[in-house]
Structure formats: structure tokens, C-alpha cells
Amino acid sequence: MPGPVIMRAQLRSRPANGHAAFLPQIRKLVFEYCDKWPTSHHTRTFLLTRLQALARENPHVEVVVKQRNQKEPIVRGFYVNNRDKVIPLKELEVTAIQKKVQLLLDASGAKIVPLKRRAVESTTEAARGIWSGLHAERPTL
């Protein structure tokens, strides 16, 4: 009589990013700006003054600068989960652009979902154990 079997294709491990080493989730930043329009002025300033320092501080990110004429400036972040986040830089000053870029660098690329559905998500059991009436002490008077 055949017993339970382990399927070879099902054998895989679950991720534990950060337990031993941390893999940053962002892999590429693409800046798209217009050469002429005044809405891209702050973006152009940022690209000329602050971009190289940013790229040097984050060597794990591929930084790409693309000219996209007659359009508003954007920054696009590509992540390892094959998603991308786009942030328009239209009415932002240089410091605000820096903050938005830092937001992209810190993000994981996961879809932003409301936290109303599940209270706790964990792969490990409860640390304090689950109470069992059959294992608790009987009450005494």
C-alpha cells in the first residue's frame, strides 16, 4: 500500500531576507527629464549636482538617466520582484526630489495594501504557546 510521498518539485526553502545577509530590493533607478521645459529645471539641477554622490553611496543600484522631451520629469524604480514604482517630480524642489529618491531606494517594490485584513503574519509558531484547557492546571478551591 503506497504511503505518503514527498514531491521533488515541491522542495524549496522560504526566504529569510536579513537573517544572515540583507539583499536590497531595488535594482535600478531611471530618471527621465526634459531638456527644455521649466518643470524639469529642479530635476536637471538634481541630476547635475546630487546624482553622482547618490550613485556612489548606493553601489547596488543601477542608475540610468534618460532624456524624455516635452514630458514631465519622473523617476522610476525597478525592483527584484519585477514591479516598478513611478514618482512624478513635476512640482518638487531639489530636497524634495532627494526625499522621493530615498523613498524608492528604501522600498521593497511590494504592492501597497491596506493593513486591515490580517493582524499578524508570521512563519513561526506563537512564542508563548497556545493555551490548551486539557493541559492547564485544574482549578482548586
Partner 1 sequence: MNHVQRRLVSTAAKLTSVSPSAAVAFPPPAALRRAKGAFATDDFDADGWAHVQPVPTSALVAFANRIGLAAIFDSPEAIRQACTHPSFLTLYRQQCPSKRLPKTNAQLATIGNSLMGLFATEYIHAKYPYLPTRVLKATISAHVGPGSLDSVAREMGAAPLLRWHRSHETENTPPVLHADAMASIPRSLTALIYQERSLPAAREFVHTYFLSRQVDVRAMLKFFNPKKSLLEMVQKYGRELPKSRLLRETGRFSNSPMFVVGIFSGVDQLGEGFGASLRMAEYRAAEDALMRVYLTQTPPEDLQLPSSTFPSVQGNIYAAGPEGAYVAPQIAPSDILYASSGRSRV
| Residues in contact with partner 1 by the rule CB under 8 A | 2-6, 8-17, 19-21, 23-24, 27-28, 59-64, 76, 78-80, 82-84, 86, 123, 133-135
**Which of residues 80 and 96 has its CB atom nearest to partner 1 in the complex?**
80
Q: Residue 107 gets which letter from DSSP? A: -
CB of 40 to partner 1, least distance (A): 19
Residue 20: count other Cβ atoms within 10 Å of its Cβ.
6
Q: How far is CA 80 from CA 54, 73, 85, 108, 123, in A?
A: 20, 24, 12, 8, 22
CB of 93 to partner 1, least distance (A): 27
Containing 52, the helix (H) or strand (E) segment is: helix 51-57
Instruction: Show the cell assigned to 1.
Output: 500500500
CB of 95 to partner 1, least distance (A): 26
**Which of residues 116 and 138 has its CB atom nearest to partner 1 in the complex?**
138
CB of 80 to partner 1, least distance (A): 4
* C-alpha closest to that of 78 among 128, 141, 130, 32: 32
**Which of residues 16 and 127 has its CB atom nearest to partner 1 in the complex?**
16
